[in-house]
Amino acid sequence: MTPGEVYKQLQLDRFNEPHFDKIENTVFGYLGFNTWVKYVDDFNEKNPTKKESMIPSLLTLYSDEGLSRVLEMAKKASTTEALARKLRMEQIQRWINDGKTPGYVFKMFMVDSKVDELLTNPQFIAWTKYVDEFNAKNPANKASMIPPIVTHYGDDAVFGMLEAAKKVQSTEKLASKLQAEQIQKLLSSNHSPTR
């Protein structure tokens, strides 16, 4: 049996949408989930040329955004952290293979993030790596980091955050780079932040 068939046999495809309040209310807390994970691991070990990702099955329960939220919750629990990190990498690889834009992926990573904490947020750092990988695969159509950030937070909030981040040694370099991109974007659109 394939992992997808076992997933259905365990009725994981009937799990209700979670409330995102605690990991127990997600598929990670469902009794049959660990059985399925073990089956997938065993299947992939026995079939190294036919490895299957868990992501397609999980996407029958969750949207990309919902799965991103569940994985972030699972990364915070010691019992599910390693699996959540593995699944996050599979999800990112799927996005790359599907050609998902950095703007799309930004929405998945930064659902509940505050602008002032952006440059030190592990989610944001992971997203910058996604942008780098996306740009490496699309050298003729490279994506800038600024448009999705500005769309999410607004020009003025981003400009202010970058000004403050330039004064912190650990974020100075990235903040300067992003602010240069933002200024270039603003100049080309004849717009300026109100700060």
Q: For the whole model, what pTM was predicted?
A: 0.78
> Is the CA virtual torsion 108, 111, 116, 122 positive or negative?
negative
Q: Higher-confidence residue: 195 or 25?
A: 25
pLDDT (0 to 100) of residue 69: 85
pLDDT at 195 over 60: no
How far apart are alpha carbons 27 and 7 in whole angstroms?
Answer: 11
Check residue 194 and give its pLDDT: 57
With contact defined as beta carbons under 8 Å apart, do 68 and 39 qualify? Answer: no
134 alpha-carbon distance from chain centroid: 13
Domain edges within the chain: 1-98, 101-195
Which is more confident, 93 or 194?
93
* Size (the chain), residues: 195
Can you tell me whether residue 167 is helix, strand or coil?
coil
The arithmetic mean of pLDDT across residues 167-173, rounded, is 93
What pLDDT was estimated at residue 117?
86
Mean pLDDT, to the nearest integer, of 7-25?
A: 78
**What's 54-82 look like in SS3?**
CHHHHCCCCCHHHHHHHHHHHHCCCCCHH
| Residue in this structure with the two tokens 């992939």, named with its chain if needed | 44
Question: Span 87-108, mean pLDDT?
Answer: 91
- Confidence at residue 101, expressed as pLDDT on a 0 to 100 scale: 93
Would you say residue 188 has pLDDT above 80?
yes
- Label residue 59 left, alpha or beta by phi (over 0 means left) and psi (-120 to 50 means alpha): alpha
Compute the half-sphere exposure of residue 129: CA atoms within 13 Å on the CB side of its CA: 11
Inter-residue contact 74 to 28 (CB < 8 Å): yes
pLDDT over 90 for what percent of the chain? 55
Residues 34-80 pLDDT 10s: 999 999 999 999 999 999 999 999 998 888 888 888 898 898 889 99
pLDDT tens, position by position, 132-158? 999 999 899 999 999 999 999 999 999
Distance of CA 137 to the CA centre of its chain: 18
Q: Quick one: pLDDT at residue 30?
A: 85
Q: What is the average per-residue pLDDT within 82-89?
A: 93
Residue type, 93: Q
Q: What pLDDT band is residue 26 in, cutting at 50, 70 and 90? A: confident
